[in-house]
């Protein structure tokens, strides 16, 4: 009876302390940036830049295979298929085309006859170290559609391109001069030049007096122009009409004439704009009087500078509020708006000079400068000190009562709550040894709150030279209980445990008996791994009391891989969605290679000391 009274008093004191501490922490402290709409791409994309010409009555196909950064993909593999334009999907054959390379000593294109293809043969077209290709084909005079396809590699996805060819007409080649991958939407006008030419029998001639049309990737016509005597056409376009910020294309096309065939050329672009910040709560740069210790709410709007001229799109990312070099508030943007709650200690002066900064999560939105605001301050309410006093009394009561001896050691509570004094870390404890003939029993619980974990997977694994053998396995019931049948234990056997939302735990197999298995959420696991990594790396990644994903991202500087990993950890640990096995694997796949990482399968996971974290 006396022991039950002491436990009840301890529970009440802890609950009171937790409530008081939550009352002192502004709600915005738990806010975190939402996951961006675009997922992080692990592989790049390819693009085929090709053109057609004629040489001695033969069709000439040439071009380059590039990645999404406009760099050549060395030794890319390219296949070519041809069908007649008057009967698309027909059985045009390359037999008799006599494919040959355009220069002496270059690899010869090879013809492949594949029975599984319905539209005929394929031409295997080699590329050089600069990803350039060129081949000549002997074909009857007719209209064709040439299908070019680059094969995917380990780092780059494949690409396809259809090229219309009329051997009875002069082939027209179009190109932008210069090729520009970045365009600013903040400029009032953007000038673009296109060069049109024809190539016949190896002689390149300017295409004079042909009409060209400029459009974006969705087909919106931006401008029209006629080529001059040098085959050049100049387009002047209102930058706001190019499209929303982000990746896109500019396409210049010629519809064809009685002498020249139609032609199209696309240039990948990235449209960028700067972001301006404003606050409806401020008047002439001054905020209403507030108490920073009580929390000051602040509404912020982020708008592209090109918006007044008709540019569309809403910036994404985070708004940070700084006092000096300290971040005193942050919130994610939602449809271009963010609501911050600022909290910091009362400074000596009666005003605080705040700086609001835009932190983008996409390269096409650029910071447009900081927003400077002044916050007149008042003293905090004295009632705010009442929870602090109650919390102090609760902690003193807990320290005193915790020293009183208990008559019996802690055991598993009914329902799988587990021992109340175990720290929130993944672990396996032998509660009570038993005969080997009865195997292993016990319960699986959440390491943080002690709740039972139903449908958790428990198994005994035996690592081998080539693979791991699973000797026995079970699934926990709704109360978290499990039973593993007896097996002949050997040195090196491992107890494996995992839940749908709880990270994998591998522990040396304890003796047979009753076990207490505690698992941590995958949300905590990815964050713990980042904190442990930062501690091993030291400054500037480590921080006191511990590193956060935002701190690691800023400390990464030019280490893009580390910054991407920190972003992924932040979205997983603080995002609203659940983190299952697949989501944890995607985050861990971005982690830097670190042989000393205890989370690797070669060792037992070790975690930092218990602390408050995401739930």
The predicted-structure confidence for 134-164, as pLDDT tens digits, reads as follows: 888 888 888 888 888 888 887 788 888 888 8
Q: Same domain for 422 and 501?
A: yes
94-98, 487-491, 593-597, range with greatest mean pLDDT: 487-491
pLDDT for residue 59? 84
Task: Give Cβ neighbours of residue 584 (< 8 Å, ≥ 6 apart).
Answer: 503, 522, 525, 526, 572
Interior CA angle at 51 toward 45 and 52, to 5°? 145
Q: Same domain for 563 and 489?
A: no
In a domain, 133, yes or no: no
Which of 376, 396, 426 terminates a domain? The answer is 376
Q: What is the pLDDT of residues 317-343, one digit of tens each?
A: 999 999 888 888 899 999 889 998 888
Reported as a pLDDT band with limits 50, 70 and 90, residue 313 is confident
Is residue 420 over pLDDT 70? no
Cα separations (Å) of 1 from 6, 256, 447?
Answer: 9, 96, 28
What CATH number does residue 313 fall under? 2.60.40
In a domain, 38, yes or no: no
Q: How far apart are CA 181 and CA 266, in angstroms?
A: 11
Name the token pair of 282. Answer: 């401020």
Is residue 104 over pLDDT 90? no
Which of 519, 546, 566 terminates a domain? The answer is 519
Residues in a beta bridge with 338: 300
Q: What is the pLDDT of residues 31-90, one digit of tens each?
A: 444 444 444 445 677 888 888 877 777 888 888 888 876 778 877 888 888 887 776 555
In a domain, 187, yes or no: no
Tell me how far apart the terminal alpha carbons of the chain are, to the nearest angstrom.
34
- Expressed as residue numbers, the domain containing 469 is 409-519
Is residue 5 over pLDDT 90? no
* Cβ(234)–Cβ(222) below 8 Å: no
pLDDT for residue 201? 72
Reported as a pLDDT band with limits 50, 70 and 90, residue 497 is very high
Q: Same domain for 487 and 532?
A: no
Q: Same domain for 393 and 418?
A: no
Q: Same domain for 471 and 559?
A: no
Q: Same domain for 286 and 312?
A: yes
| Residue 130 DSSP SS3 | coil
In a domain, 118, yes or no: no
In a domain, 309, yes or no: yes
Q: How far apart are CA 519 and CA 523, in angstroms?
A: 12
In a domain, 89, yes or no: no
In a domain, 346, yes or no: yes
The single-letter DSSP state of residue 335 is T
The tally of domains found in the chain comes to 4
Reported as a pLDDT band with limits 50, 70 and 90, residue 418 is very low
Is residue 408 over pLDDT 70? no
Q: Same domain for 451 and 401?
A: no
Name the token pair of 594. Answer: 């670190």
Q: Same domain for 424 and 514?
A: yes
pLDDT for residue 512? 92
Residues 349-354: what's their mean pLDDT?
A: 85
**Whether the bond into 137 is cis, omega within 30 of 0:** no
Q: Looking at the chain, how many residues does it have?
A: 615
In a domain, 37, yes or no: no
| Residue 484 DSSP SS3 | strand
Q: Same domain for 526 and 465?
A: no
The structure's pTM equals: 0.49
372-381, 399-408, 551-560, range with greatest mean pLDDT: 551-560
Q: Same domain for 415 and 400?
A: no
pLDDT for residue 17? 52
Residue % of the chain over a pLDDT of 90 = 23
| Residue 516 DSSP SS3 | strand
pLDDT for residue 14? 55
Q: Same domain for 418 and 513?
A: yes
Q: Same domain for 298 and 352?
A: yes
450-455-460-465 Cα dihedral, nearest 10 degrees: -110
């Amino acid at each position: 009876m006396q022991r039950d009274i002491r436990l009840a008093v301890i529970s009440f004191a802890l609950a009171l302390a937790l409530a008081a501490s939550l009352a002192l922490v502004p709600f915005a402290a738990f806010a975190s940036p939402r996951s961006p709409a675009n997922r992080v791409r692990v592989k790049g994309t390819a693009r085929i830049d090709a053109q057609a010409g004629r040489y001695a009555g033969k069709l000439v196909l040439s071009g380059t295979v590039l990645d999404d950064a406009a760099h050549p993909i060395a030794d890319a593999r390219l296949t070519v298929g041809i069908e007649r334009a008057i009967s698309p999907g027909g059985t045009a054959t390359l037999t008799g085309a006599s494919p040959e390379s355009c220069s002496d000593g270059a690899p010869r294109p090879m013809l492949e006859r594949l029975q599984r293809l319905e539209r005929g043969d394929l031409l295997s077209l080699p590329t050089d170290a600069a990803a350039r290709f060129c081949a000549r084909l002997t074909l009857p005079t007719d209209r064709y559609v040439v299908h070019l396809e680059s094969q995917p590699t380990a780092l780059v996805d494949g690409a396809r391109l259809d090229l219309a060819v009329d051997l009875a007409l002069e082939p027209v080649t179009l190109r932008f001069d210069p090729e520009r991958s970045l365009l600013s939407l903040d400029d009032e006008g953007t000038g673009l030049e296109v060069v049109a030419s024809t190539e016949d029998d190896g002689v390149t001639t300017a295409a004079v007096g042909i009409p060209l049309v400029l459009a974006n990737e969705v087909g919106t016509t931006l401008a029209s122009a006629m080529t001059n005597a040098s085959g050049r056409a100049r387009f002047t376009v209102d930058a706001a009409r190019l499209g929303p910020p982000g990746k896109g294309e500019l396409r210049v096309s010629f519809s064809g004439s009685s002498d020249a065939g139609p032609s199209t050329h696309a240039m990948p672009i990235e449209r960028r704009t700067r972001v301006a910040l404003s606050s409806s709560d401020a008047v002439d740069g001054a905020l209403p009087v507030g108490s920073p210790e009580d929390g000051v709410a602040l509404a912020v709007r982020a708008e592209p500078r090109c918006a007044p001229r008709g540019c569309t799109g809403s910036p994404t990312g985070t708004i940070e509020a700084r006092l000096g070099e300290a971040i005193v508030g942050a919130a994610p943007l939602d449809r271009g708006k963010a609501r911050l709650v600022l909290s910091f200690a009362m400074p000596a002066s009666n005003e605080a000079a705040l700086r609001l900064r835009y932190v983008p999560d996409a390269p096409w939105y650029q910071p447009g400068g900081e927003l400077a605001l002044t916050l007149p301050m008042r003293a905090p309410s004295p009632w705010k000190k009442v929870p602090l006093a109650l919390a102090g009394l609760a902690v003193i009561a807990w320290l005193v009562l915790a020293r009183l001896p208990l008559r019996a050691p802690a055991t598993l509570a009914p329902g799988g709550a587990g021992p109340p004094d175990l720290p929130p870390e993944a672990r396996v404890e032998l509660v009570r040894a038993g005969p080997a003939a009865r195997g292993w029993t016990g319960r699986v619980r959440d390491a943080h709150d002690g709740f039972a974990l139903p449908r958790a997977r428990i198994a005994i694994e035996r690592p081998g030279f080539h693979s791991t053998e699973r000797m026995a396995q079970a699934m926990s019931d709704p109360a978290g209980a499990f039973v593993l049948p007896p097996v002949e234990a050997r040195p090196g056997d491992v107890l494996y445990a995992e839940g749908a939302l709880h990270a994998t735990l591998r522990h040396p197999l304890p003796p047979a008996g009753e076990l207490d298995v505690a698992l941590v959420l995958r949300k905590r696991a990815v964050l713990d791994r980042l904190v442990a990594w930062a501690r091993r790396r030291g400054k500037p990644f480590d921080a006191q009391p511990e590193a956060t994903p935002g701190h690691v991202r800023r400390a990464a500087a030019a280490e893009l891989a580390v910054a991407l990993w920190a972003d992924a950890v932040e979205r997983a640990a603080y995002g609203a969605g659940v983190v299952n096995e697949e989501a944890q694997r995607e985050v861990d796949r971005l982690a830097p290679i670190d042989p000393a990482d205890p989370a690797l399968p070669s060792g037992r996971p070790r975690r930092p000391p218990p602390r408050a974290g995401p739930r």
